[in-house]
Structure 1
Amino acid sequence: MTAISELPPGTAHVKAEYILSFSSTTAPDDDAAEGSGAPTRSREQPDDRDADARSGGPKRGPKLTKAQKKAQSGMNKNRRFGRLRDELDLCFKVASGSMCEFGDKCKNNHDIEAYLAAKPADLRFPQREDVADIPLPGAVDVVEEGGHSDSWKAFCPVFEEAGECRYGFRCRFLGAHLHNSDSGTPELVKDSQKVEYAAGANVETNRISGHAQKLLRTKKYLFPITKAYQAELDAAEVKKSGKAVPSANAIVVSEPDQEMDLDAPSLITQRTGDVDATTPAVVDTPDVPVRFSEKRRLDWNGKTYLAPLTTVGNLPFRRLCVSYGADITCGEMGLATSFLSGSKEEWSLVRRHESEKTFGVQLAGSKVGALVSTAEVLAKECAGGVDFVDLNCGCPIDLVFKTGSGSALLDNPNRLGKIVAGMSRALGEIPVTVKLRTGVKDGKNTAHKLMPRLGPEFNAGCITLHGRTRQQRYTKLADWEYIKECVDAVRAREADEDLPRVPIFGGGDCFSSEAYWSCVDSSGVDGVMLARGALIKPWIFTEVKERREWDISARERLEGIRNLAEYGLSHFGTDTGGVNQSRRYLCEALSFQYRYVPLGILERLPAKINERAPAFRGRDELETLLASGDSRDWVRISEMFLGKAPEEWAFTPKHKSNSYDSQG
């Protein structure tokens, strides 16, 4: 038999009595998990699910060659999750107790009694105190009809939080807010006290108005700050080159191979200048832009930071991480052009839960005008609901990089400077933060040259550095020595010029409290932005806060999964569509959490994120189930909280792994 000491490098040292096979499990492809094809395909659509999530179908591009098809293989370009409806669909307005303005012309059913007769039985959602008694899938049939023991109290997460359920009779947990009147007619229940509290609490904020979305869609939204900034850049270009700019309506940026003197203060710190106030587009333009010294200062030293995460980093998951101790959260990357088109899907990404104490929005784009304009809209429409706006200069996926966005901006500091400075101006006192990688190509790190300029020259309020190049992706360990070099370069300039201190967060491979604080102490960063570590074990924030390694039990982990399911229902809804949307994102989270190896079965601590475990059994049946890489088991776990998955519903993992291969 193979001895543990003979295991290949990179294998987690699981105690011999728990090992089922000495062959390591297949390494999940985190590069594939980070890139999901078209970014908008994974977007949240929490409200208005009766309307189509997207207008029209996807546009068909030119026919791909064989080489192009091969290049796209394995990148999950065509993941599809259909929206499921009830067999007899009830009008949303009627379901919530309102009158439908379309009357008999409404395409949906208005007969409540007929709908309730055809509707599947209520689901039973276990409350926190019930988690210890939830039977495992296969032990008994826990998912038929009501789902759990009838002794469990009916519970609707939306009703519990808001005092009324906006899904009304369509709710799959209807028994929690339904009673029969004296005449025997079913009636919806409201908790007036909770309704009053919820109205003042604004549980979810940053909802853009329909009027603003219409102005964006019809291109009638006014951008006075962007126009003024554009005029400044145009004037500087004329002064530099002596040639007129091509168009008064386009912000001119230099191409990557062109050089421009960004040390000149005119682009960054000068006043807005005289503008024709009779032009409607520039009404209310501020006379003087907010200076760097006047921006809201970010004091993030010692705070924990959940990175913006593709797909999984939605509001329910962020809420879960906050419950474990995350201080700073940032929404999933949104495309500036999609924000400006008024996309419902993109604007859903800026939703913020009241528990998120420090919340930011992350933008990606390559055009100065688009990013500055998006910043201006955010400042106007989400005033008070956004604490910072993060510019993504680190995304490595081809789809983003080839448009000049993400990590492509690292090779064009001229354009990057214009973007950050313009966004800073458009956002007023809201700080701009910048997320970087060490460089684009291996062996050609550039961040140490760029980072010292981001604060004093471009008005960046915080810098985050992922310790890998774009080319490297996740194939090697993060370079924390280089992160220290970059931190030292920034601090040296701050000391030499007596500049305000800009917070710096590092990132890469932190998977334990010990690793986190070791990286902080050795590199001089203010903290570590947690990404994959938080995906695999969201309770890492508790470990960091308490400076301990938590041998979390399987039931404690199940409590977290239960909470994530509840947060999903509160956000996506409790009708059939919302339940299965919640199920989809719960399975997305489980596609990372199964990779956690319980500390109690390891011979060597702390665990490392790049170590692969041999096939092992847990200390109990539940721990073994939670370690399953079979995506069908993730669906079974979801059924413990969300009822039986519909026959036509299937989950396809994003990344290649043994779980992906298990899909038959």
Structure 2
Amino acid sequence: MKIGNTEVGKVMLAPMAGAADTAFRIICRRHGCSYAVTEMISAKAVTYGDRKTSQLAAITNDEAPTACQLFGHEPEVMEKACAMLLEEYSKSGVMPVAIDINMGCPVPKIVRNGEGSALMRDLPLAGEIIAAVVRSAGPIPVTVKMRLGWDQSSICVTDLAKIAEDKGASAICVHARTRSQMYAPSADWSYIKKVKESVTIPVIGNGDIFSGADAKRMIDETGCDAVAVARGAMGNPWIFEEANAILDGKVFPPVTAAQKIQGAKDHLDLLIKLKGEARAIPESRTHMDKYTKGLYGAPKIRNAVNLAESADEIKSLLTSLLK
């Protein structure tokens, strides 16, 4: 499928605040991820010139083709932030392949401000935001991440998908739960199929993809053009290779304990390279927990990893799981 003029594969990395940083996006690319999205970038923070926000938005040549995800609730602020970001990217020499608008985040502090999935309660405003960003982005494609609606009684995903297409969006990504459902119960993929049947632009499915088989099943059941893996990629970047293999009719061998431990060490090393050891160690803990999940003895070292103060200590603890 294409997003604008960029050809991308069928298995992508979904945006995840606090997880899908540069290091993780690079690692996922190494394992076959064809497209990724930055962590959420506050439009208002961009217009204030916030330095941390600029760092979050940074994209490198070592990643898969990457989109920048913006969130906000004011069309004029979103328009200005988009223009400012694209100017900053132009100076850096690495452009995003798209600007992605977040209309799906369910986190209370986001929706309290009328942002994220709260926009699914105000479709006219959502349309104004999409149109404003499309104007500002110029030749850069605009995509929209959305949920099914605010709750089960107000599902509006096909309506928002049609609005997005009408306002100039180049693709949409649907997380198959409502805002009120957060991340449980199971995602209802049938709505992804309904969206696919209601628009002509590419539709990316998202929700409950924890294996390559899940990715293939979502595509087969819904007809979506691609899938975006979120939590299923944490501690398991091999899911991209697995999904690509299965979609090609091939068999992907199970990931060994040794591969998981080496993967965790490589991830830690990359975090240190990009952010320095003092910052990398606390930020690595969630990832280390995911890499070691299911390994014999992992629960016993988990607390020790969380208390470790050096990379060497963490690596020693990880190695101990192979003995």
Q: TM-score, normalised by structure 1?
A: 0.44
Q: Deviations over 1:202-240 (max 9, x none)?
A: xxxxxxxxxxxxxxxxxxxxxxxxxxxxxxxxxxxxxxx
Alpha-carbon offset, residue 462 of structure 1: 1.0
Q: Deviations over 1:425-451 (max 9, x none)?
A: 111100111000000012321101221
1:228-627 mapped onto 2 (5 Å cutoff): 297-298=4-5, 302-383=9-90, 384-455=94-165, 457-490=166-199, 501-547=200-246, 548-572=251-275, 578-595=276-293, 623-626=295-298
Alpha-carbon offset, residue 379 of structure 1: 2.0
Q: Which has the higher helix share?
A: 2
Q: Deviations over 1:89-110 (max 9, x none)?
A: xxxxxxxxxxxxxxxxxxxxxx
Task: Please tell me whether the aligned partners of residues 301 and 526 of structure 1 are also in contact (alpha carbons under 8 angstroms).
Answer: no
**SS of residue matched to 1:624:** coil
Alpha-carbon offset, residue 522 of structure 1: 1.2
Task: Please tell me whether the aligned partners of residues 436 and 464 of structure 1 are also in contact (alpha carbons under 8 angstroms).
Answer: yes
Match for 1:460: what amino acid?
Answer: A
Match for 2:117: what amino acid?
Answer: S
Alpha-carbon offset, residue 634 of structure 1: 4.7
Alpha-carbon offset, residue 642 of structure 1: 6.2
Alpha-carbon offset, residue 637 of structure 1: 10
Task: Please tell me whether the aligned partners of residues 378 and 427 of structure 1 are also in contact (alpha carbons under 8 angstroms).
Answer: no
Alpha-carbon offset, residue 453 of structure 1: 2.6
Q: Deviations over 1:70-92 (max 9, x none)?
A: xxxxxxxxxxxxxxxxxxxxxxx
Mapped partners of 2:226, 2:162: distance in 1: 18
**SS of residue matched to 1:392:** strand
1:108-257 mapped onto 2 (5 Å cutoff): none
Mapped partners of 1:453, 1:312: distance in 2: 30
Mapped partners of 1:475, 1:385: distance in 2: 35
Query: For residues 638 and 478 of structure 1, do their structure 2 counterparts lie closer, same or farther at Cα, with a shift above 3 Å needed?
Result: farther
Gapped runs of 5+ residues in structure 2? 318-323
Mapped partners of 2:60, 2:225: distance in 1: 25
Task: Please tell me whether the aligned partners of residues 579 and 642 of structure 1 are also in contact (alpha carbons under 8 angstroms).
Answer: no
Alpha-carbon offset, residue 588 of structure 1: 2.2
Alpha-carbon offset, residue 624 of structure 1: 1.7
Mapped partners of 2:289, 2:98: distance in 1: 30
Query: For residues 406 and 427 of structure 1, do their structure 2 counterparts lie closer, same or farther at Cα, with a shift above 3 Å needed?
Result: same
**SS of residue matched to 2:204:** strand
Task: Please tell me whether the aligned partners of residues 25 and 64 of structure 2 are also in contact (alpha carbons under 8 angstroms).
Answer: no
Query: For residues 536 and 442 of structure 1, do their structure 2 counterparts lie closer, same or farther at Cα, with a shift above 3 Å needed?
Result: farther
Alpha-carbon offset, residue 342 of structure 1: 0.9
Match for 2:259: what amino acid?
Answer: E
Which stretch shows the higher mean deviation, 579-588 or 462-471? 579-588
In structure 2, the residue matched to 1:113 is none
Q: Indicate the structure (1 or 2) with the bigger Cα radius of gyration.
A: 1
Alpha-carbon offset, residue 302 of structure 1: 3.7
In structure 1, the residue matched to 2:321 is none
1:649-664 mapped onto 2 (5 Å cutoff): none
Q: Deviations over 1:508-527 (max 9, x none)?
A: 11111111111101101111
Match for 1:591: what amino acid?
Answer: D
In structure 1, the residue matched to 2:320 is none
Query: For residues 413 and 300 of structure 1, do their structure 2 counterparts lie closer, same or farther at Cα, with a shift above 3 Å needed?
Result: farther
**SS of residue matched to 1:389:** strand
In structure 2, the residue matched to 1:26 is none
Task: Please tell me whether the aligned partners of residues 134 and 169 of structure 2 are also in contact (alpha carbons under 8 angstroms).
Answer: yes
Match for 2:187: what amino acid?
Answer: A
Mapped partners of 1:449, 1:525: distance in 2: 17
Mapped partners of 1:550, 1:442: distance in 2: 39
Query: For residues 634 and 556 of structure 1, do their structure 2 counterparts lie closer, same or farther at Cα, with a shift above 3 Å needed?
Result: farther
Mapped partners of 2:27, 2:297: distance in 1: 21
Give identity over the alignment, percent.
27
Alpha-carbon offset, residue 580 of structure 1: 2.0
**SS of residue matched to 2:83:** helix
Q: Deviations over 1:307-328 (max 9, x none)?
A: 1111121111111111111111
Task: Please tell me whether the aligned partners of residues 298 and 461 of structure 1 are also in contact (alpha carbons under 8 angstroms).
Answer: no
Query: For residues 302 and 360 of structure 1, do their structure 2 counterparts lie closer, same or farther at Cα, with a shift above 3 Å needed?
Result: closer
Mapped partners of 1:429, 1:544: distance in 2: 31
**SS of residue matched to 1:318:** helix
**SS of residue matched to 1:370:** helix
In structure 2, the residue matched to 1:662 is none
Match for 2:233: what amino acid?
Answer: A
Q: Deviations over 1:358-410 (max 9, x none)?
A: 11111111111111100111222212521111100000011000101000111
Mapped partners of 1:437, 1:521: distance in 2: 20
Match for 1:297: what amino acid?
Answer: G
Match for 1:348: what amino acid?
Answer: Q
Match for 2:296: what amino acid?
Answer: T
Mapped partners of 1:357, 1:322: distance in 2: 5
Q: Report 1 or 2 for greater relative contact order, CA contacts < 8 Å, sequence distance ≥ 6.
A: 1
Mapped partners of 1:640, 1:625: distance in 2: 19
Gapped runs of 5+ residues in structure 1? 1-294, 491-500, 573-577, 596-621, 646-664
Query: For residues 421 and 342 of structure 1, do their structure 2 counterparts lie closer, same or farther at Cα, with a shift above 3 Å needed?
Result: same
